[in-house]
Structure 1
Amino acid sequence: MARESLWQILLTTILSGNFVLAMFLGMCPFLGVTHSVSVAFPLGLATTFVIVIASLSAYLLNWVLGLAHLEFLRLICYIVVIASAVQLVEMYVKKNYPPLFRALGIYLPLITTNCAVLGVALFQTARDYDFMQSITFAIGGGVGFTLALVLLASVRERVELADVPESVQGTVLVLMLAGVLSLAFMGFAGLGGGA
């Protein structure tokens, strides 16, 4: 798999290999924060930043731990780096954007436990990506995550204005919308020339 082109990795990770809509990673913020685009988009950006930092760090840690023959420490090191990056994002948002910090609530610190963030580090290591492929994979993963959040938030904002039967309001409707989005993204399978 290490022979994939950068465009192939980027397109696949954003569309048919989307962490949320194809791999079902990061579902907690996907279902919980998507009430409005004004909250979903900043959370997607914050998660993208953490994903890129985690990817860079995972690549470097993988190399250093490989030299020292300490590969068994990989997972612990990834978690420490992810938690540190989330703390930086949380402090920045709290200081510079207090209303956004309050709107994101518990979901901002929960980026630490977002399995999509750890998934990027583990997948790129397992796929033996080089430096540029790792960064492309991380950017694609972050953009795909943000896209999924914003799409569901947009649809939920529109549905709030519609006359929806009482039997499908709330969680039922959100899960149905998420399923339809997932099916739509699966239609991109094969895009980019990969077989």
Structure 2
Amino acid sequence: MEHIELFFKSIFIDNMVFATFLGMCSYLAVSKKVSTAVGLGAAVIFVLAVTVPVNWLLDQYILQPGALKWLGAEYADYDLSFLSFIMFIATIATMVQLVEIVVEKFSPSLYNSLGIFLPLIAVNCAILGGSLFMQSREIQTIGLAFNYGISSGIGWFLAILAIAAIREKIRYSNVPAPLRGLGITFIITGLMAIGFMSFGGMLTGGDDEGKEQTETVKVEQTEQKEENKLAENTLQ
């Protein structure tokens, strides 16, 4: 249940683009064509799915205060958390370089269409944000870390795919001159963010409200039973 909840919340409620507005540079620049958006979105999913679990391992066994105790009691007091940013970025840069090599080898057309934005995944704040959010959420297992990485990537993928599809269609629409280009794109992004955030009530609020209603009904039933008993005793 925890994996499913984290998966859907990371895609819809805590979407990297619509909830925290991370990765907006690539989101706006590479969303003019669906084919290009799909390629970059797939690359982001892969990088997040790999870097978040790897950075979780680094955080758990190297960076956290006392994480080096597995090396011996004399290392138990070491705190390397100040190296988090450097280690996370190094991991991200390595994986992005691997993605760039693979894309260039197997899909030169996609590599050329992505241009400078493919290597710029290394400095995409959504990628680093995934590792930092993983750290701040205090995710306990590598399975949850992998889940969070891939679901965050899927959320970013859906965001750029949706805006790319809309921007392809909107070329044939009569958009007012002052809003053409980034203006209408930001408006659409805001409306999409509202739509994605509306999933919050379904994924988080419903359970709590259901529990409260159930407890309220139980209390009312108990009070009714006590009143009935009191009425019977009075009649007797």
How far is 1:164 from its partner? 2.0
TM value normalised by structure 1:
0.93
Q: Secondary structure at the match of 1:22?
A: coil
Structure 1 Cα separation of the partners of residues 196 and 4 of structure 2: 17
Is the 8 Å Cα contact of residues 97 and 119 (structure 2) preserved in structure 1?
yes
Aligned length: 192
Sequence identity percentage? 36
| Pair 1:76-2:73 in alignment | no
Is the 8 Å Cα contact of residues 44 and 142 (structure 1) preserved in structure 2?
yes
Find 1:169's aligned residue among 173, 180, 200. Answer: 180
| Pair 1:136-2:133 in alignment | no
How far is 1:168 from its partner? 1.6
Residue in 1 that maps onto 2:225: none
| Pair 1:26-2:23 in alignment | yes
Is the 8 Å Cα contact of residues 7 and 192 (structure 1) preserved in structure 2?
no
Find 1:155's aligned residue among 134, 143, 166. Answer: 166
Task: Tell me which structure has the larger Cα radius of gyration.
Answer: 2
Question: What do residues 19-38 of structure 1 show as CA deviations (whole Å, max 9, x unaligned)?
Answer: 10111111111111100110
Q: What is the RMSD of the two structures over their aligned residues, measured on CA atoms?
A: 1.4
Letter in 1 for 2:16: F
Structure 1 Cα separation of the partners of residues 45 and 58 of structure 2: 19
Residue in 1 that maps onto 2:48: 51
Structure 2 Cα separation of the partners of residues 171 and 126 of structure 1: 33
Higher normalized helix content (fraction of residues): 2
| Equivalences for residues 59-70 of structure 1 within 5 A | 59-65=56-62, 66=64, 67-68=67-68, 69=78, 70=80
How far is 1:171 from its partner? 1.4
For structure 1, which segment, 32-41 or 121-130, has the greater mean C-alpha deviation from structure 2 after superposition?
121-130
Structure 2 Cα separation of the partners of residues 167 and 119 of structure 1: 33
Whose relative contact order is higher, 1 or 2, with alpha carbons under 8 Å and at least 6 apart?
1
